[in-house]
Amino acid sequence: MLFYGPPGTGKTSTVLALAKQLYGPDLIKTRVLELNASDERGISIVREKVKDFARMQLSNPPAGPAGVEYRKRYPCPPYKIIILDEADSMTQDAQSALRRTMETYSKITRFCLICNYVTRIIDPLASRCSKFRFKSLGGGDAGKRVGEIARLEGVQMENGVVDTLIRCAEGDLRKAITFLQSAARLVGAQKKKDGDAMDVDGGGQVVTVRSVEEIAGVIPDGTIERLTKAMDPKAKGVMYERVAQVVEDMVADGWSATQVLGQLYEKTVMDDQVQDRQKNKIVMAFSEADKRLVDGSDEHLTILDLCLRIAGALAS
């Protein structure tokens, strides 16, 4: 099998849950080999560790009445599973060496490759696998899971926190859970005055939307609104002075230029009042600013230039 898709969508969790249901607690250690990106996975590992595990004889379930009961609960199919997490980080040579191993020992060993970018898996490997694409999680399912975690952990949340977590995480459930945990610790730390380590996440305080946005580094809507108003060609005063002042304040507050870019893009390009002709120029300005930031340009100057170009496009 080949699982691919964005991070935090449950690829590794799915195959581990499948393995636990197939083999149970007694057999999973001898029937499943998991290699992560943190492990060395060059061609030598494929030739030695993976190949040795693939050709190893199958371990048997417990004997006697206990074994019969065990087989009723867990199917224990007659093959082992090798899980290669972050398979797209494997070298080309290692992937090529894996092809023959997958075919030779297919009767007693099955493989599950997990990656974020399926294009980095060589075609001969991909053609030997059943592909399963994991999409970014929708708000409904992810929201239910986050709400359930908060309930089980005893974390109190105000209305709108779950929606904010899902929006900030952008379909990455792992990131949403991390934000929730960090926000719970933040409000708990604010409550404790003696400086001792916290024993319980949340500390009885209520997690707010603002605390989640602070953890995620999201710029407040009011700040983005100020920047949008400053770029409005109909506003009073000299345009450069208006825009430069707001941009300078944002840089002084320490907001990330990449975050400004993302939120300003949503605010401007999704605005129905902006004409398509103007949006064409604005999107080009965003793409150039994004490239400059990746290349390491000065954040202050890049954002200032972007805002002035957007203002010019809106005025045309």
Q: Is 3 a residue whose pLDDT tops 90? A: yes
Q: Are residues 6 and 129 in the same domain?
A: yes
Q: Are residues 18 and 125 in the same domain?
A: yes
pLDDT of residue 198: 46
**Domain CATH code at residue 40:** 3.40.50.300
7-11, 36-40, 56-60, 241-245: the lowest-pLDDT one: 36-40
Over residues 122-147, mean pLDDT:
91
Q: Note the pLDDT tens digit of each residue in 85-125.
A: 999 988 888 899 898 889 899 999 999 999 999 999 999 99
Residue 32 phi/psi, 5-degree rounding, is -125, 130
Domain boundary among 216, 235, 268: 216
Domain boundary among 83, 117, 133: 133
Q: Which domain holds residue 81?
A: 2-133
Mean pLDDT of the chain: 88
Q: How many CA atoms within 13 Å lie on the side-chain side of 186?
A: 17
Return d(Cα 154, Cα 148) in angstroms, integer: 10
35-44, 104-113, 148-157: the lowest-pLDDT one: 35-44
pLDDT band at residue 194, thresholds of 50, 70 and 90? very low
Opening angle at CA 227, ends 222 and 230, nearest 5: 125
Nearest Cα neighbor of 201 from 219, 224, 185, 221 is: 185
pLDDT band at residue 199, thresholds of 50, 70 and 90? very low
Q: Are residues 33 and 128 in the same domain?
A: yes
pLDDT band at residue 43, thresholds of 50, 70 and 90? confident
194-208, 216-230, 280-294: the lowest-pLDDT one: 194-208
Return d(Cα 9, Cα 127) in angstroms, integer: 23
pLDDT of residue 238: 84
Q: Are residues 186 and 233 in the same domain?
A: no
Domain boundary among 133, 158, 174: 133
59 contacts 88 by C-beta, under 8 angstroms: no
pLDDT band at residue 236, thresholds of 50, 70 and 90? confident
Over residues 71-80, mean pLDDT:
91
Q: Is 202 a residue whose pLDDT tops 60? A: no
Q: Are residues 17 and 94 in the same domain?
A: yes
**Domain CATH code at residue 292:** 1.20.272.10
13-27, 40-54, 126-140, 196-210: the lowest-pLDDT one: 196-210
- 3-state SS of the chain is CEEECCCCCCHHHHHHHHHHHHHHHHHHHHHEEEECCCCCCCHHHHHHHHHHHHCCCCCCCCCHHHHHHHHHHCCCCCCEEEEECCHHHCCHHHHHHHHHHHHHCCCCEEEEEEECCHHHCCHHHHCCCCEEECCCCCHHHHHHHHHHHHHHHCCEECCCHHHHHHHHHCCCHHHHHHHHHHHHHHHHHHHCCCCCCCCCCCCCCEECHHHHHHHHCCCCHHHHHHHHHHHCCCCCCCHHHHHHHHHHHHHHCCCCHHHHHHHHHHHHHCCCCCCHHHHHHHHHHHHHHHHHHHHCCCHHHHHHHHHHHHHHHHHC
Q: Are residues 56 and 119 in the same domain?
A: yes
Q: How far is CA 23 from the centre of its chain?
A: 29
pLDDT of residue 204: 55
Q: Is 205 a residue whose pLDDT tops 70? A: yes
pLDDT of residue 214: 87
pLDDT band at residue 68, thresholds of 50, 70 and 90? confident
Return d(Cα 222, Cα 113) in angstroms, integer: 45
Q: Are residues 48 and 72 in the same domain?
A: yes
Q: Is 220 a residue whose pLDDT tops 90? A: no
Q: How many domains does the chain have?
A: 3
Q: Note the pLDDT tens digit of each residue in 293-302.
A: 999 999 999 9
Q: Are residues 206 and 225 in the same domain?
A: no
Residue for token pair 């202050």: 300
Q: Are residues 97 and 156 in the same domain?
A: no
Return d(Cα 141, Cα 144) in angstroms, integer: 5
Name the residue with higher pLDDT: 186 or 283.
Answer: 283
Q: Are residues 16 and 99 in the same domain?
A: yes
Q: How far is CA 201 from the centre of its chain?
A: 23
Q: Are residues 232 and 209 in the same domain?
A: no
pTM of the complete model: 0.78
Q: Are residues 143 and 129 in the same domain?
A: no
Residue for token pair 């074994």: 67
**Domain CATH code at residue 150:** 1.10.8.60
pLDDT band at residue 178, thresholds of 50, 70 and 90? very high
86-90, 188-192, 281-285: the lowest-pLDDT one: 188-192
